[in-house]
């Protein structure tokens, strides 16, 4: 068997990011950090997609993570970025655990639409909640790193570094999980649940576990996005946000845990460049690029790398 | 010999249709039992009730002295009762080898091995080999080594059938229920395939119940026959006696027995 090179590659990418990050312009640091936050959400979607489940409502957990982090600062004055990330992850994971009892019973379009409906309920609630700023949302406290506040010029780099390390840890853990018997069950669940049950495993239990992992990852991504952007609003739970995550998932492909982050970064770059070129029709450029990927790389951008490796 | 499986008074109705009516059968350990009967006679319902797919309306199922009535298929499987299907249930997008690995993964997981925190390669319980070696060995035993890396969905019908049965062997079942193992297999290949299946399965000391329509296959491989008709067992005896029974001849065999 060939040695598993993914953790090593991930480590090298993050190392390169930490070194080069010091040279990148501020807007680029922002773009990469947001891409890492979205990549975490997509990493969770990838786990679900491997068992054939498409969640049209992953923004629910992204938003829960962001609001958990934001409210911790607003209500208790907590600004430590690690605490905020853990809180976002825990809140989303807990919500995923509870909702998982319902959602793990459903498959295909029913699963997709039910997840969409729940995320829209949260959106509706947040828009109507004045205490949380209604549709305007609220500002998130400037975050600190273990009690320290970096100099203004280094804030973006510091957040990027934290995001990169968080993404690295999450990606390596998910990679390891995908290699366990429970992780490997995903394509089997997608293919034939009857057989899974008759082999002595519970498909529903496996999906529930995957759903909680995906929710926690989305919560972590949401908390990271909240600290990076410095502002949160109900749009984070809106269906277009969920659509964006699915967009990135298709763009990236499900071949490897690196793919979601690569996909999110390329999504961010296309979005920024397209917006710069034509501020009114940038969505068309985005749509066109997704179309091109679907036609020419049906397994996503990651197939470019896999193809080269196999050759 | 002691009964490993004991069905007592099993009944199952689907609306006005009686699929099983007061079925009583004690299966002895290490035996090979053929289930015969026309379509709709209740053979598959019997298998479905034992493996937990259907809950009987009345009656109990005891396995190794324990009541397993109404347990879910996965729990019945974990206790050591496995089944194959009339239409093979495979993981279509995976190769034959990967199909085996998924099954072995479940066995590992149920034994608490190979999990997130475990280090190194876990040994598969009952086989004491690494997962890959177990998969290779079982594929070989079922004559599937040549199909190892082919996707399950493109395999020929007979091979799919064998893979379906090979998949059950990863858990080293104590009882194996085979639902029409030779259906869709050409008449010339039937005996060879049954020989292979029986050799592979019996080497593990597994008790076998198989549904079969070909009476020649039944007389050759079964030690005992349960003949089903209209949801009832109308004969329970050694093949030569059961197949000569007037009721069995009339309702199951169709009068003419080619022996």
| B24 neighbors B8 (Cβ within 8 angstroms) | yes
Residue tagged 């499986």 (tokens): B5
Verify whether the Cβ–Cβ distance B106 to A201 is below 8 Å.
yes
Q: Give the count of Cβ contacts less than 8 A between chain A and B.
A: 81
Rounded to whole angstroms, how far apart are CA atoms A213 and A233? 24
Rounded to whole angstroms, how far apart are CA atoms A282 and A289? 11
Verify whether the Cβ–Cβ distance B93 to A191 is below 8 Å.
yes
| B214 neighbors B247 (Cβ within 8 angstroms) | no
Global ipTM: 0.86
Verify whether the Cβ–Cβ distance B92 to A191 is below 8 Å.
yes
* B115 chain-A contacts, CB cut-off 8 A: 180-182
Report residue A3's pLDDT band, with 50, 70 and 90 as the boundaries.
low
Residues 121-180 (A) with a CB less than 8 A from some CB of B: 176-177, 180
Verify whether the Cβ–Cβ distance B94 to A194 is below 8 Å.
no
Which residue in B has a C-alpha nearest to residue A177's C-alpha?
B116
Verify whether the Cβ–Cβ distance A199 to B77 is below 8 Å.
yes
In angstroms, the separation between the Cα of residue B103 and the nearest Cα of chain A is 6
- Give the pLDDT score at A214: 96
Report residue A222's pLDDT band, with 50, 70 and 90 as the boundaries.
very high
Three-state DSSP at B243 gives: coil
Going residue by residue through chain B, which has 259 residues, state the pLDDT in tens, using 9 for 90 and above: 578 888 888 888 888 888 888 888 899 888 999 998 888 888 888 999 999 999 989 989 999 989 999 899 999 999 999 999 988 899 999 999 999 999 998 888 888 777 777 766 778 787 778 888 889 889 988 888 899 899 999 988 888 888 999 999 888 899 999 988 888 778 788 888 888 888 888 888 899 999 988 888 888 898 998 888 888 888 888 888 878 888 777 777 775 545 4
DSSP string, A187-228: HHHHH-HHHHHHTT--HHHHHHHHHHHHHHHHHHHHHHHHHH
Give, as one character, the DSSP assignment of residue B111.
Answer: T
For residues A214-226, b (16+ Cβ closer than 10 Å) or e, as one string? bbbbbbbbbbbbb
Statement: residue A1 has pLDDT above 50 = no
For chain A, how many residues are written?
Answer: 311
DSSP string, B150-211: SBGGGS-HHHHHHHHHHHHGGG--SEEEEESTTTTS-HHHHHHHHHHHHHHHHTTT-EEEEE
Verify whether the Cβ–Cβ distance B74 to A200 is below 8 Å.
yes
pLDDT > 90 fraction of chain A, expressed in percent and rounded: 55
Name the class of domain B1-80+173-191+206-259. alpha beta
Q: If you compute the radius of gyration of chain B from its CA atoms, what whole number of angstroms results?
A: 19
| Cβ neighbours around B32 below 10 Å, total | 19
- Give the pLDDT score at A147: 77
Three-state DSSP at A50 gives: helix
- Give the pLDDT score at A4: 76
Verify whether the Cβ–Cβ distance A199 to B114 is below 8 Å.
no
Q: Which two tokens stand for residue A5?
A: 């090179």
Cα angle B66, B67, B68 (rounded to 5 degrees) comes to 110
Residues 140-169 (B) with a CB less than 8 A from some CB of A: 167
The string of pLDDT tens digits covering residues A180-210 is: 888 888 999 999 989 999 998 899 999 999 9
SS (H, E, C) A223-264: HHHHHHHCEECHHHHCHHHHHHHHHHHHHHCCCCCCHHHHHH
Cα angle B184, B187, B188 (rounded to 5 degrees) comes to 125
| A172 neighbors A46 (Cβ within 8 angstroms) | no
Q: Is B250 on the interface with A (CB under 8 A)?
A: no
- Give φ, ψ of B11 to 5 degrees: -135, 145
**Which class for B137: exposed (0-12), middle (13-18), buried (19 or more C-beta within 10 A)?**
middle
**Is A265 a domain residue?**
no
**Is A294 a domain residue?**
no
**Is A290 a domain residue?**
no
Number of domains in chain A: 1
Annotated domain spans of chain B: 1-80+173-191+206-259, 90-168
Across the interface, of A180, A188, A198, the residue whose CB is closest to B77 is A198
| B243 neighbors B255 (Cβ within 8 angstroms) | no
Report residue A2's pLDDT band, with 50, 70 and 90 as the boundaries.
very low
Q: Is A107 on the interface with B (CB under 8 A)?
A: no
Q: Which two tokens stand for residue B196?
A: 């292979």
**Is A98 a domain residue?**
yes
- Give the pLDDT score at A279: 85
The string of pLDDT tens digits covering residues A241-294 is: 999 999 999 989 888 899 999 999 999 999 898 888 888 888 888 888 888 988
Verify whether the Cβ–Cβ distance A195 to B171 is below 8 Å.
no
In angstroms, the separation between the Cα of residue A208 and the nearest Cα of chain B is 16
Q: Which two tokens stand for residue A150?
A: 């970096």
- Give the pLDDT score at B1: 54
Rounded to whole angstroms, how far apart are CA atoms A203 and A209? 10
Report residue A310's pLDDT band, with 50, 70 and 90 as the boundaries.
very low
Mean pLDDT, rounded, of chain A: 89
The string of pLDDT tens digits covering residues A130-139 is: 889 888 889 8
> What's the domain range around A54?
6-238
| A51 neighbors A189 (Cβ within 8 angstroms) | yes
């Amino acid at each position: 068997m060939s040695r598993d090179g993914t953790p090593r590659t991930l480590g090298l990418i993050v190392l390169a990011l930490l070194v080069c990050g010091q040279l990148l312009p501020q807007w680029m640091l922002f773009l990469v950090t947001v891409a890492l936050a979205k990549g975490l959400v997509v990493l969770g979607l990838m786990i679900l997609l491997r068992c054939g489940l498409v969640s049209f409502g992953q923004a629910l957990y992204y938003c829960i993570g962001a609001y958990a982090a934001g409210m911790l600062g607003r209500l208790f004055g907590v600004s430590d970025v690690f605490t905020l990330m853990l809180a976002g992850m825990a809140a989303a994971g807990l919500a995923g655990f509870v909702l998982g009892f319902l959602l793990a019973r459903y498959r295909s379009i029913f699963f997709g639409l039910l997840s969409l409906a729940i995320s829209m309920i949260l959106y509706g609630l947040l828009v109507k909640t004045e205490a949380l700023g209604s549709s305007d949302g609220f500002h998130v406290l400037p975050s600190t790193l273990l009690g320290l506040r970096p100099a203004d010029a280094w804030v973006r780099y510091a957040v990027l570094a934290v995001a990169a390390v968080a993404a690295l840890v999450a990606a390596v853990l998910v990679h390891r999980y995908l290699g366990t018997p429970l992780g490997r069950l995903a394509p089997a669940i997608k293919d034939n649940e009857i057989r899974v049950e008759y082999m002595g495993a519970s498909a529903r239990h496996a999906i529930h576990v995957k759903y909680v992992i995906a929710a926690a990852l989305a919560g972590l991504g949401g908390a990271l996005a909240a600290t990076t952007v410095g502002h949160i609003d109900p749009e984070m739970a809106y269906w277009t946000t969920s659509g964006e995550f699915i967009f990135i998932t298709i763009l990236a492909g499900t071949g490897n845990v690196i793919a979601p982050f690569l996909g999110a970064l390329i999504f961010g770059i296309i979005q920024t460049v397209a917006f710069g070129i034509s501020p009114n029709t940038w969505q068309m450029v985005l749509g066109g690029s997704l179309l091109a990927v679907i036609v020419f790389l049906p397994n996503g951008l990651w197939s470019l790398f896999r193809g080269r490796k196999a050759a | 010999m002691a009964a490993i499986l004991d069905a007592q008074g099993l009944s199952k109705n689907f609306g006005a249709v009686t699929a099983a009516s007061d079925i009583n059968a004690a299966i002895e350990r290490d035996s090979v039992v053929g289930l015969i009967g026309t379509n709709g006679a209740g053979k598959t319902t019997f298998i479905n009730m034992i493996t937990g797919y259907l809950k009987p309306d009345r009656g109990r199922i005891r396995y190794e002295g324990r009541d397993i009535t109404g347990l879910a298929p996965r729990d019945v499987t974990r206790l050591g009762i496995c089944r194959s299907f009339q239409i093979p249930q495979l993981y279509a997008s995976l190769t034959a080898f990967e199909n085996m690995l998924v099954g072995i993964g479940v066995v590992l997981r149920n034994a608490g091995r190979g999990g997130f925190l475990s280090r190194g390669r876990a040994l598969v319980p009952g086989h004491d080999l690494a997962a890959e070696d177990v998969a290779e060995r079982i594929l070989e035993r079922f004559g599937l080594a040549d199909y190892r890396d082919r996707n399950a969905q493109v395999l020929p019908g007979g091979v799919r059938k064998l893979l379906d049965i090979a998949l059950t062997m990863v858990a080293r079942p104590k009882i194996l229920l085979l639902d029409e193992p030779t259906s869709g297999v050409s008449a010339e290949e039937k005996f060879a395939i049954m020989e292979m299946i029986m050799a592979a399965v019996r080497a593990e000391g597994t008790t076998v119940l198989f549904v079969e329509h070909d009476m020649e296959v039944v007389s050759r491989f079964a030690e005992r026959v349960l003949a089903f008709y209209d949801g009832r067992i109308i004969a329970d005896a050694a093949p030569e006696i059961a197949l000569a029974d007037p009721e069995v001849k009339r309702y199951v065999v169709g009068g003419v027995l080619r022996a």
